[in-house]
Amino acid sequence: MSIIFIFSLFITQQRALDKIIQAKVESAHLLAENMLQQTTNRYQKRIKGFINYKSAKTKQQFVDAFARLDRKALLQLTHPFLKIFKN
C-alpha cells in the first residue's frame, strides 16, 4: 500500500515539475520574441530614416560633394544620418 502511495506522490511531483518547466519554456520563448520584435522595430525605424523622401533630395549632393572632395559639405550632409545611427 505504501508503495502505491509513494508512486502516486512521485507521479504527482513529476507532473508538477513538468508544468513548471513548460511554463518557464513558454516564458523564455515569449521573452525572446519580444526582444526580437523590439530590436526589429528599432532597426526598421533606422532603415526608414535612411530611405525617406528627404534623403532622395540629398543623394546627388552627396555624390557632388564626394566628387569635389569637399569634406565640410560631406560632414554637413551626413550629420543627420549620424544622428540616426546613434539612436
Tens digits of residue pLDDT in 67-85: 899 999 988 888 877 777 7
Residue 42 has which C-alpha cell?
528599432
Tens digits of residue pLDDT in 19-55: 999 999 999 999 999 999 998 988 887 777 666 656 5
What is the pLDDT, as a whole number, of residue 25?
97
Same domain (yes/no): 4, 25: yes
What is the pLDDT, as a whole number, of residue 14?
96
What is the pLDDT, as a whole number, of residue 48?
73
What is the pLDDT, as a whole number, of residue 56?
59
Same domain (yes/no): 41, 3: yes
Q: What is the total count of domains within the chain?
A: 2
Buried b (16+ CB within 10 A) or exposed e, 16-28: eeeeeeeeeeeee
What is the pLDDT, as a whole number, of residue 68?
92
Buried b (16+ CB within 10 A) or exposed e, 54-82: eeeeeeeeeeebeeeeeeeeeeebeeeee
What angle, 0 to 180 degrees and rounded to 10, lies between the N-to-C axes of helices 71-86 and 2-50?
160
Range of the domain at 10: 1-51
